[in-house]
Amino acid sequence: MAEEAINYVLKNTRVEYRINGLYREELHEIPLPALREIIINSILHRNYLSPSFIQISIHPDRIEFFSPGALHGSMTKERMLQGNSSSLRNPQLADILHRMNIVERWGSGIGRIFAAYRERNLAIPEYDVDDMGITVTIRRNQSGDKAQQYVHSANKGKRVSVTEEEVLSFISHHTGCTYSQLLQAFDISRRTLTNRLNSLMKKGKIQRSGSTRNANWSSL
């Protein structure tokens, strides 16, 4: 259940590609450690007597995770957000997850979520608590900066097309990038990339330096 939920979010949110030498680094819109903790917390702390379901809602401006059930016992929102205490509603489930090495230490999940966001200098998630349940809201970046954010393919590993604007934007922010780096950044076929590059050159928007095999690309 948790793995399916994580994959669903990854397939429907953005990912940033950074090129370090010949290698591509993927930075997901929601840091993976934070996404994992949000999903696990929703499963671990939900009220299983409630007829409601765990819900994941992806909107253009935000992503929401809803877990049914108010805070358990004497737990308050303030204590929960401090990240150093926990009140177990489902102790047997918690024990199973702990034995599976899915849960490390009670009450430490939110601290790891916030730490993952601070490491990336992102706005930390918002928590809303009421009698119906707990909603975690993540505000999405709508700046439209295509130079750093590209749409993650709904089928990871499948080669998909990209626009000339995305290729141009990448080259503009990675002056001197190579053909191999462009292939890694977009995960598209050589034919598609070559067509995009040739079209941009004909329009006078990019230039190539060096031999065809070892060319470097830059914007004009």
pLDDT of residue 80: 79
pLDDT of 55 strictly over 70: yes
**All domains of the chain, ordered by start, with CATH?**
30-139 (3.30.565.60), 150-219 (1.10.10.10)
Outline where DSSP puts E strands in the chain.
Answer: 14-20, 23-28, 55-58, 62-68, 126-129, 133-139, 150-151, 177-178, 206-209, 216-219
pTM for this predicted structure: 0.60
pLDDT of 128 strictly over 50: yes
Give the residue among 48, 11, 9, 22 at the shortest CA–CA distance from 180. Answer: 22
pLDDT of 34 strictly over 50: yes
pLDDT of 105 strictly over 60: yes
Give the largest Cα separation in the chain, rounded: 69
